[in-house]
Every structure is written in structure tokens, then in C-alpha cells.
Structure 1
Amino acid sequence: MKKISLTLILISFFSMLAAAQTEKEDMAIATSIFGKTKKAIITQYMQIADKDSKAFWDMYDQYEYKDNAINQEGLALIKQYTDNYNTLNDSLATKIAGEYLNNTTKYNALYKVYFKRFKKLVGGVKAATLFQIEIYIQTAIQANLQSQIPVIGELQRLQH
């Protein structure tokens, strides 16, 4: 009975974690990891000229909107995984893994599109700096989230 309870508690926790993840939580995670909000980190490293500031932040807000949509898709996949953890079969695991890989492809496509746009606006070095920061923060957030999700079959191995 303890094993079943532990499993249900963990699955509930991961489901809530995935469902509750929002832009604000990304900011909170970034703040907890780096001691600053994502925007503060970008401001510190980018040092955008006043003449480009409004256009830069307007474009960044467009980028963040699309980035958050991709984030939400990924979190829905994590929720699907946690909801089906105990009954995961080959077909569903393959489906979720394929969709997760497609989600990663969407990030890379977004990075390419917006790198070109930011390069036109602020130059190649600043655009490269922005995406170095973006990818670093995204990787840290993903690592934090992934560390909280059990590997397929892990809970069953812990129960034996």
C-alpha cells in the first residue's frame, strides 16, 4: 500500500508541476538558479543602446510569446507522461517521445528565426549573446524540471 501511495503522490506532484508551469514560474526558476529574473540577466549582458531599446524589447516580447507557447506544449507532454506513467506502453511512449523531439525542433526553429531578426536589429555579436543566454537559461530550467521527473520504470524499480 505504501508503494502505491508513493507512486500516486509522485505522479500527482509531477502532474501539478507540469500543469502549473508558466512564464512566471520560468522567471521564478531563473531567479532561483541565477539570482535574477530572465529579463534582468538579458539587460545586464546585452547593454542595448537607447535608440534600439524599444524595438529590441518589443521583438523580445514577441519572441517570448512564441517561446512560452512551445514551453506549454512541452509541459503538456510531461503531464501526459506523468498521467500515464503506470500504464505507459510502447505505443504511447513512442508517441510522447516523438512529440517531445518535435517540440525540441520547434525551439531550434524559433531560435533561427529570431536570431536573424535580432541580428538585423542589434548586430551579430549581440544576437549571438542573446541566444547564448536564452539557451543557457532554457537548459537550466529544463535540467531542473527533468531532475524532478522519474525515468520510465524508475518507480517500479524502487518498489522492488
Structure 2
Amino acid sequence: MKKLICLFMILGAAWRLTAQITPAVAVLPTEDLVTQIFGKNKESLLNDFLKISPLEERAFQSAFLEYETEKSPWLTERIALLKMYNEEFSSIDEKKMNSLTRQFINNDLEFGRLQMRYFRKFNKLLGATRAAKFFQLDNYLEQSTRVYLQNQLPFIKELESDKLAKPLTAR
């Protein structure tokens, strides 16, 4: 039961990203958000963090570009789902909510499979520790961009509950 509650909280947080995305935020690609948040692009952050040697640089850049290219459709789908939710936020019904929830979960599963495939590649290229560090930073940047957007958005049905003016109390 606790896992189910946590899952719904996580999904709620993900959907919160879409509830009121401002046009300025909605059009920013993930790379622009990373630069805006951290002051460097993702590749620079990774090079600094992983201490890529000149001998590894060409192979790393190739693998990184390949990973980002394969990751792009996942991000595009996630953004499309968020936009769909955003457009239908005020009138979304149970059937559509069920469908969107399943699509978000499948999207996350696909991303996990993509990361597993590339972990094997980066493991061969950089060794297990630096491959783990790569995905630690990649996940950190992904979560940071989600949080950045999420802080601007209400939770599902939060707008309707605000009309009732019932304050939340801690127990």
C-alpha cells in the first residue's frame, strides 16, 4: 500500500509539471534548462564530473551523442504527454487519467531500458564507477529539470480544492 501511495505521489508530481506551464518554460528544451539551472551545458558538466581523458574524449562524445539522440524521442513523448495533460487539466475524466497514467509509467519504463542499454556501453568505455557516475549525474539533471518546472505547477485537482478554501493540516 505504501508503494502504491508513493507511486501516486510521484505521478502527481510529474503531472504537476504540466498543469500550468508558462509559455517561456514550455518551449525551453531540456538542455537549455540545464544551462539555465547549472550555468553549463550537460556535456561540460559530464566532462568535468567524469574527468574524461583526451584519449577517451572522442569515444565518449560519440557514445554521449548516440545516447542523447536515442533519449530524444523519450523526452518528446514525455513533453507531449505533459502538454496533453496541461490542455485537458480542467476537464480530464477518469478514463483519460487512467490512460495518461499508463502512458507516463510506460514512458518511464522505456527510459529505464534505454539507460540499461547505455550503462553497458558506458561501462565498457569508462568502467563501472564512472558509468555509474554518468547515470547518477544524468538522472540528477533530469530530476532537476523536472523539479524546476514542477515548482510552477499545481497538483492534480488542486485548483478545485483551492476553491473550497480548506487548509491542509499535518497529523
TM-score by structure 2 length?
Answer: 0.78
Q: Structure 1 residues 135 and 101 mapped into 2: Cα distance closer, same or farther (>3 Å)?
A: same
Residue identity opposite 1:130 in structure 2: F
- Tell me, yes or no, if structure 1 residue 149 matches structure 2 residue 153: yes
- Size of the alignment, in residue pairs? 147
Work out the CA distance in 2 between the residues paired with 1:12 and 1:150: 6
Q: For 1:1-160, what aligned pairs fall within 5 Å after superposition?
A: 14=21, 16=23, 20-22=27-29, 26-160=30-164
Work out the CA distance in 2 between the residues paired with 1:13 and 1:155: 11
Which structure has more RCO (C-alpha within 8 Å, separation ≥ 6)? 2
Partner secondary structure for residue 151 of structure 1? coil
Q: Structure 1 residues 18 and 97 mapped into 2: Cα distance closer, same or farther (>3 Å)?
A: farther
* CA deviation string 1:47-94 (max 9, x = no partner): 112222111101100100121211111111111101111111000001
Shift of 1:19: 5.3
- Contact 1:42/1:133 (CA < 8 Å) preserved in 2? yes
Residue identity opposite 1:134 in structure 2: D
Structure 2, gaps ≥5 residues long: 1-17, 165-171
- Contact 2:19/2:154 (CA < 8 Å) preserved in 1? no
Work out the CA distance in 1 between the residues paired with 2:24 and 2:39: 21
Runs of 4+ in 1 over 3 A off after TM superposition: 15-19
Partner secondary structure for residue 156 of structure 2? coil
Q: Structure 1 residues 39 and 132 mapped into 2: Cα distance closer, same or farther (>3 Å)?
A: same
- Contact 1:29/1:141 (CA < 8 Å) preserved in 2? yes
* CA deviation string 1:88-132 (max 9, x = no partner): 100000100110011111111111100100111121111111111
- Contact 2:20/2:153 (CA < 8 Å) preserved in 1? no
Over aligned residues, Cα RMSD in angstroms?
2.0
Partner of 2:9: none
TM-score by structure 1 length?
Answer: 0.83
Partner secondary structure for residue 83 of structure 2? helix
Tell me which protein shows more helix as a share of its residues.
1
Partner secondary structure for residue 95 of structure 1? helix
Partner secondary structure for residue 21 of structure 2? helix
